[in-house]
Structure 1
Amino acid sequence: MGHGLRRRCREGVLAGRILLNYVVWGNGSVSARLWNAIRSDDWAIPHVGLSSLGEIVGWGVV
């Protein structure tokens, strides 16, 4: 794996952690955070959809 690809993978993991932190524990309503996470240019990550994030939120509050 080249250096550039490794760096992009680490950045992707960091972006995923930031997104999950926002969706599960962020300010405001869960529904608004979920909507932002899938529709907002600031939060959306390709191939991460509402069902996946909703499942994570459900497990996060258990």
Structure 2
Amino acid sequence: MIIPKPDGGERMLGIPSIIDRVIQQAIAQVISPYFEPQFSSHSYGYRAHKRASQAVNHVQSCVKQG
């Protein structure tokens, strides 16, 4: 999709199309089982079954333990 710019030019819309998202998800499903075991158990960003609240709880536990 092309979006007109105020100066008369055009730019492409930066939102991935449905096909792009399907391909990205398919690739993620194939490569995730390979890479997931290599991540640290303390890595919470953008991982399946990991949430920011778990990271906060882990940090709070570490602080309490000194």
The alignment's TM-score, normalised by the length of structure 1, stands at 0.35
* Bigger relative CO (Cα 8 Å, ≥ 6 apart): 1
Q: Which one has a larger percent strand, Structure 1 or Structure 2?
A: 2
**Structure richer in helix, relative to its length:** 1
- TM-score normalized by structure 2? 0.34
